[in-house]
Amino acid sequence: MVQASSQAGWIRAALLAALVACAPAAAQEVTVLLQASPPEQAPPRPDFDDDEFVELRATMVRDQIEDRGVADEAVLAAMRRVPRHRFAPRVSARSAYEDEPQPIGHGQTISQPYTVAYMTERLELGADDRVLEVGTGSGYQAAILAEIVGEVVTIEIIRELADSAAERLQGMGYRNITVLHGDGYHGHAARAPFDAVVVTAAASHTPPPLVAQLRPGGRMVIPVGRAGWIQNLLLVEKNADGEVSTRNLASVRFVPLTGDH
Amino acid sequence: MVGRETPGRLDLVAVAGVSAALLALEVLLLRLFEFSHWYHFAGLAIALALLGLGAAGTTLALAGRYPFSRGDGWFLTGLGVTGAGFLLLLVVQSRVTLRPVFAGWDLGELVRLLLVDLAAFVPFYGAGLAIGQVFLRWPERTRGLYAANLLGSGIGSLGAALLLATVPVAMALAVVAVLLFALGSVIGWVRGQRVAGAACVLGLALALIAAVRPPEPAVSDFKALSRIGELPGVETLAVHSGLPGRLTLLRADSLRYAPGLSLGWTESVPSVDVAVVGSDRVVPLVRRWPVDAAHRRASLAGLPRQLRPHGRLLVLGSGAWQTPVAAGGRAVTWVEADGRLLEIARARGASEAGITLVEDGAWRHLVTAPDGPYSVIAFDAAWEEGDAAAEDYVLTVAGLALALARLEADGLLAIPLPLDDPPRYYPRVMATLERALHRQGAAAPGDHVAVLRGLQALLILASPRPLAEADIAALRDFAERWRFDVAWWPGQAREQANRYHRLDSPVFHDIARALFERRPLPPATRLFHAAPAELDRPYPWRSLAWGETPRLVRELGGRGWSYLDWTLILSVVTTVVVAVLAFLLVLVPLGRLPAIQRPFGRLSVAGYFSALGLGYIVVELVVFQRLILYLGEPVLAAALVFATFLIGSGIGSAMTPADASRASLGRIYLAVAVGLALALVPFMAVHALSTPPLAWRLALLVALLLPLAWAMGRPFPWALRQLAGQDRWIPWAWGINGFTSVLGASLAPLLSIHIGQSAALVAGAACYVVAFAIARHWLVRSKRA
């Protein structure tokens, strides 16, 4: 669902389409599991009743995120709002708010709260942005993004995880998230370009299609490196001329991109 | 066995059989735990299991005054517990899926891990009960019994290696259990132990079922084998057993590998198959040669080939760096110790594409270099890094110097490394390279080296002679075109080193400059161990600097824990835990044993058998570490060393003098000294022992080690023989020896890593000096009495 372009932006849209057309052609089959609603002025946010873990989330944000330097108010607000425990059904609710990644099955984890917040902050998102997330996992990162931006497209290669994330996000009332089942390596050219791309599974190299689907001026955050405890978190920036550069942000703990790229 | 004054042939066979099963279990357990555990925990798990032997000694010491503790019934009970332990291990490993990566911070997962490991304690305990009591029962026959013990162990070691090479590890365990229960059934029938015999027959039936349909070990969903198995459309193309571990060949369209690829590359990257060795080592393999590898012209992996478009390439090892991919008619020699990978490549047309496939260790191929000199030597295996305690002889000063000598005059070494920030292995590899260049006569090593950096990869290039202007220009053009940073070239300004993939500072340039200018490393980079890796300490992947650990954790916070060498830390933990447990278990029976009589004392007995236990295992393991240099494959080296030592010691123990005289003591320990002198040859004549073909090498190594093994088998039964008449102290002494062996097993790698293999060998030899001194003291006291 590409946002409607203003009159002045049609040239930009044409150029972007051309750029995207240069992206490697991929025989990519994707299945839409959850479709975002047409964009509105302000996408509806789910209405979460106050639950017994509000205080725990506030403590999590204060001790694990704010104290470590994340300062973006939109990110902090999202982290306070989204009930993280609902995205980690395999562990106790209290464990979900601990300062660690937690298993969600299929060799995947829900990322450590700080990592989610840090990556989100580094994207420098705006309310109208469209974000591609590769590696839906539990759907938690997608939910955090959806609290901030206009639309999130998230893609997951493991069918069971994609199904459960779509069901969970729909059940929670998110209307601005599209959940796809497919190989995230190819991104999603049909819905490109994106203002930001976040890859939540480590890869051995940055997939060329993802770089191509990032609009000029956009940012990508991706962990790269070998499987294991440590990967390097990179910020990839594409300038107005389409040239990319990277900045090493930090080392983080992730699981690898399942295709072991 | 009740009532016989001497052990019969069946008794000796029984001891040998249980000993064989025990050693086979040790070897198979290594492979099993590597599959199911996080490999750092494998050593700890095995040490805990081995404690079962010592615990059995304690049990025997406590129960020794009761008649039921010696006899056929007790032996068969021990044998039955051993066999049941095998089956328990198979069941537990197949039913319980571990997530060892979470054990680092999840106490519950750690407890689960340890409980699963306790299943391995059971067979060791049972075997200890069976074997230990025969010394109690026939204290005058320790030579023959110990000989049977050791010979059986040697056969078990060889048998386990043979099984691993041919069948899956679960089936191998079941087969050993079958043999064990069959032995127990025969003993029960012959000796009239009906109940125990019937139990063994039942065990035999269960073991046969397990051997025919072995339960697969459960694999964590975080292991590569599981994760790749979840991919849509994944196919298992083949499964092969082998000494390096099970190899599973998998195919899925979503499998792509391109480390070192430029962000500027916008075209496709081809899909590949992968071979998963064990449960976590992933080796990409092209589907068919020749392959479309256009993307490599935009990759650091393809740069050496572009800089040197002619001449033969040598590729050492396998990994995601995949230098053989772009063979494209170029003469390439690919050296890999795991022949199965080469067989797969051969079946896919690698040979027709111009790739010569050589199954050999990298070090040995560099020594012999039958098709050199080379225009490029690519260290593909370096991309996969390694464990802190794993020997890697090629990435040492001697190894890199040898590689430089095998290049053409303007040839290139290409060493890829994953990028870590802060730099973890880079300082050490660069320091080793600098030293190697010096050794090869380079007056200014910095003039021979270039380093390029991508977003997640480093490529270190080195040449025997200073890099030409044309090379530097070509590098810079490549870097500019594909937006790589050049971290080092001769004469580079610091400001040029951090342009496209920006770090907080050009730390890789700063490290290179400090090393080449022989200045201290920048303070911010001194978080890791950075001394050059030498042949005597071939552990280039050891990064832990103990003194810097608090600063590392303090500065990096939580992620600092991820940079620690957990193998080393858990080895220390293992050593401490085993020492404490052993100490307690040794102390437990002391109050209930009768007074020991002159010339012995509790302390001297403990000291003697401790020294032997430590000395034997330290010497054995250090020799094993060195033999990896010559044999390339660690499991092959382990099988050879264990078999040689155990069989040799078994023969030696059967030839131990029985009398307690200074002459016999002198002969025993003089033989040890001569054996140790011979065992120094593998530490000195490196090139001479590297060149012969495999069969000759094996024969030479066995010939050099057998005298030492024979000699080291004699001090233990000699002393046990002297304890005859103080029977209750025999299992206690045996238990102490067992405990200190376990301690030595975790201590030996730590010694080699920190003080070098030669010094560790000296430490092992010193234990025999201590044992000799104690034994001499006994003789003196005996004479005075």
Candidates A163, A215, A217; CA nearest to A18 is A215
Query: What pLDDT shows up at residue A24?
Result: 42
**Chain A interface test: which of B106, B228, B230 (most A C-beta within 10 Å):** B230
Would the pLDDT of B522 be above 60?
yes
Category of A135 on φ-ψ map: left (φ > 0), alpha (ψ -120 to 50) or beta:
left
The residue from A95, A111, A245, A251 that is catalytic is A111
- B263 closest CB neighbour out of A99, A211, A247: A211
- A205 closest CB neighbour out of B259, B282, B556: B259
Query: How crowded is residue B567: how many other Cβ atoms within 10 Å of its Cβ?
Result: 24
Would the pLDDT of A255 be above 60?
no
Beta strands in B325-447 (DSSP E): 332-336, 355-359, 374-378, 407-418
Q: Stretch B563-591: mean pLDDT, rounded?
A: 81
Partner-chain contact A251 B421, CB within 8 Å: yes
Query: What pLDDT shows up at residue B555?
Result: 82
- Tens digits of residue pLDDT in B49-96: 677 877 888 888 777 667 766 788 889 999 999 999 999 999 988 888
Q: End-to-end alpha-carbon separation of chain A, Å?
A: 28
- By C-alpha distance, the chain A residue nearest B565 is A229
All residues of chain B having their beta carbon less than 8 Å from the beta carbon of residue A246 are 263, 455, 500-502
Candidates B676, B674, B578, B567; CA nearest to B619 is B676
- A159 closest CB neighbour out of B227, B232, B455: B232
Q: Please state which CATH class domain A10-18+26-252 belongs to.
A: alpha beta
Q: Which position has the higher pLDDT, B440 or B784?
A: B440
What is the separation of C-alpha A2 from the centre of its chain, rounded to a whole number of angstroms? 18
- B222 closest CB neighbour out of A204, A234, A255: A255
- Return mean pLDDT, chain A: 82
What is the separation of C-alpha B198 from the centre of its chain, rounded to a whole number of angstroms? 40
Please answer whether residues B352 and B386 qualify as being in contact, where contact means their C-beta atoms are separated by less than 8 angstroms. Answer: no
A143 exposure class (CB count in 10 Å sphere: 0-12, 13-18, 19+): buried
Query: What pLDDT shows up at residue B39?
Result: 58
Please answer whether residues B424 and B441 qualify as being in contact, where contact means their C-beta atoms are separated by less than 8 angstroms. Answer: no
All residues of chain B having their beta carbon less than 8 Å from the beta carbon of residue A232 are 419-421, 455-456
- Tens digits of residue pLDDT in B220-265: 887 889 889 989 899 999 999 998 889 999 999 999 999 999 999 9
Q: Spell out the alpha helix ranges (H) of A135-255.
A: 140-146, 159-172, 208-212
Would the pLDDT of B588 be above 80?
no
**Chain A interface test: which of B455, B482, B483, B552 (most A C-beta within 10 Å):** B455
How far, in Å, CA of B77 to CA of B59, rounded? 14
| Two tokens, residue B603 | 């302390």
| Two tokens, residue A190 | 């049909």
| Two tokens, residue B701 | 């190594």
Partner-chain contact B259 A236, CB within 8 Å: no
Partner-chain contact B420 A245, CB within 8 Å: no
What is the separation of C-alpha B163 from the centre of its chain, rounded to a whole number of angstroms? 18
Partner-chain contact B268 A208, CB within 8 Å: yes
Q: What is the DSSP string of A222-256?
A: EEES-SSS-EEEEEEEE-TTS-EEEEEEEEE--PB
How far, in Å, CA of B236 to CA of B473, rounded? 46
Please answer whether residues A38 and A237 qualify as being in contact, where contact means their C-beta atoms are separated by less than 8 angstroms. Answer: no
Chain A: give the shortest CA distance to residue B639, in Å. Answer: 30
**Chain A interface test: which of B38, B226, B266 (most A C-beta within 10 Å):** B266
- Tens digits of residue pLDDT in B474-491: 999 999 999 999 999 999
Candidates B654, B757, B747; CA nearest to B709 is B654
How far, in Å, CA of B358 to CA of B394, rounded? 16
- B99 closest CB neighbour out of A103, A185, A245: A103
Would the pLDDT of B355 be above 50?
yes
How far, in Å, CA of B60 to CA of B82, rounded? 16
Q: Stretch B434-446: mean pLDDT, rounded?
A: 96
- Tens digits of residue pLDDT in A96-107: 999 888 889 888
Query: What pLDDT shows up at residue B742?
Result: 83
Please answer whether residues A149 and A130 qualify as being in contact, where contact means their C-beta atoms are separated by less than 8 angstroms. Answer: yes
- Tens digits of residue pLDDT in B330-344: 899 999 999 999 999
| Two tokens, residue A197 | 């791309």
- B228 closest CB neighbour out of A211, A229, A260: A260
Question: Which of A247-256, B654-663, B724-733 ranks highest by mean pLDDT?
Answer: B654-663
Query: How crowded is residue B412: how many other Cβ atoms within 10 Å of its Cβ?
Result: 26
Please answer whether residues B578 and B746 qualify as being in contact, where contact means their C-beta atoms are separated by less than 8 angstroms. Answer: yes
Q: Fill in the amino acid letter for B517.
A: E
All residues of chain A having their beta carbon less than 8 Å from the beta carbon of residue B231 are 157, 258-259
Residues 6+ apart with CB under 8 A from B481: B264
Chain A: give the shortest CA distance to residue B254, in Å. Answer: 5
Partner-chain contact B260 A205, CB within 8 Å: yes
Partner-chain contact B227 A256, CB within 8 Å: yes
Query: What pLDDT shows up at residue A226?
Result: 57
Q: Stretch B318-323: mean pLDDT, rounded?
A: 91
Chain A: give the shortest CA distance to residue B34, in Å. Answer: 15
Query: What pLDDT shows up at residue A233?
Result: 82
Q: How confident is the model at residue B37 (pLDDT cuts 50, 70, 90)?
A: low
Query: What pLDDT shows up at residue B566?
Result: 84
All residues of chain B having their beta carbon less than 8 Å from the beta carbon of residue A248 are 421, 455, 501-504
Pick the CATH number of B9-218+565-784 from 1.20.1250, 1.10.3470, 3.40.50, 1.10.12: 1.20.1250
**β-pairing verdict for A130-134 and A194-199:** parallel
What pTM value is reported for the model? 0.89
Match 């200190």 to its residue by tokens: B740
How far, in Å, CA of B731 to CA of B723, rounded? 10
- Return mean pLDDT, chain B: 89
Query: What pLDDT shows up at residue B630?
Result: 92
Partner-chain contact A247 B501, CB within 8 Å: yes
- CA dist A164 to A34, A131, A167, A169, A181, Å? 11, 21, 5, 9, 11
> Which helix or strand (DSSP H or E) is residue B315 part of?
strand B313-316
Residues 6+ apart with CB under 8 A from B682: B623, B626, B627, B629, B630, B689, B701, B704
Q: Please state which CATH class domain B286-539 belongs to.
A: alpha beta
- Tens digits of residue pLDDT in A223-253: 876 545 566 788 999 999 988 888 878 766 5
Q: What is the percent of chain B with per-residue pLDDT over 90, rounded to a whole number? A: 59
The three-class DSSP label of residue B506 is coil
How far, in Å, CA of B217 to CA of B94, rounded? 4
Candidates B448, B487, B498, B503; CA nearest to B471 is B448
Active site residue A111: yes
- By C-alpha distance, the chain B residue nearest A115 is B559
Query: What pLDDT shows up at residue B101?
Result: 63
Q: Spell out the alpha helix ranges (H) of A97-139.
A: 113-122
Q: Stretch A114-131: mean pLDDT, rounded?
A: 94
Candidates B380, B385, B382; CA nearest to B332 is B380
How far, in Å, CA of A159 to CA of B630, rounded? 48
Q: How confident is the model at residue A22 (pLDDT cuts 50, 70, 90)?
A: very low
- CA dist A257 to A124, A135, A238, B752, Å? 24, 8, 22, 37
Q: What is the dihedral of CA A245, A249, A250, A253, to 10 degrees?
A: -70
Query: What pLDDT shows up at residue A228?
Result: 53
Q: Which position has the higher pLDDT, B405 or B98?
A: B405
Query: What pLDDT shows up at residue B96?
Result: 82
Query: What pLDDT shows up at residue B632?
Result: 85
Which residues, listed in sequence order, are joined to residue A220 by a DSSP beta bridge?
A: A197, A236
- A232 closest CB neighbour out of B265, B267, B456: B456
Q: Stretch B596-607: mean pLDDT, rounded?
A: 86
Q: Which position has the higher pLDDT, B372 or B321?
A: B321
Query: What pLDDT shows up at residue B558?
Result: 66
Q: Stretch A112-139: mean pLDDT, rounded?
A: 94
All residues of chain B having their beta carbon less than 8 Å from the beta carbon of residue A234 are 455-456, 501
Q: What is the rounded radius of gyration, in angstroms, for the C-alpha atoms of chain A? A: 17
Q: Which position has the higher pLDDT, B411 or B422?
A: B411
The size of the A-B interface in CB pairs under 8 A is: 146
Would the pLDDT of B781 be above 90?
no
Q: Stretch A183-205: mean pLDDT, rounded?
A: 89
Residues of chain B with CATH 3.40.50.150: 286-539
How far, in Å, CA of B305 to CA of B105, rounded? 45
Check: complex ipTM more than 0.85: no
Task: Give the phi and the psi of residue B544 in degrees, each rounded to 5.
Answer: -70, 125
**Domain locations along chain A:** 10-18+26-252
Query: What pLDDT shows up at residue B88?
Result: 93
Candidates B311, B688, B296; CA nearest to B463 is B311
Chain B: give the shortest CA distance to residue A209, in Å. Answer: 7
Query: What pLDDT shows up at residue B759?
Result: 96
> Which helix or strand (DSSP H or E) is residue A153 part of?
strand A151-156
Q: How confident is the model at residue B708 (pLDDT cuts 50, 70, 90)?
A: very high
All residues of chain A having their beta carbon less than 8 Å from the beta carbon of residue B230 are 106-107, 158, 258
Query: What pLDDT shows up at residue B138?
Result: 86
Chain B: give the shortest CA distance to residue A127, in Å. Answer: 28
Chain A: give the shortest CA distance to residue B487, in Å. Answer: 15
Burial readout B134-156 (b: 16 or more C-beta within 10 A, e: otherwise): bbbbbbebbbbbbbbbbbbbbbb
Partner-chain contact A245 B502, CB within 8 Å: yes
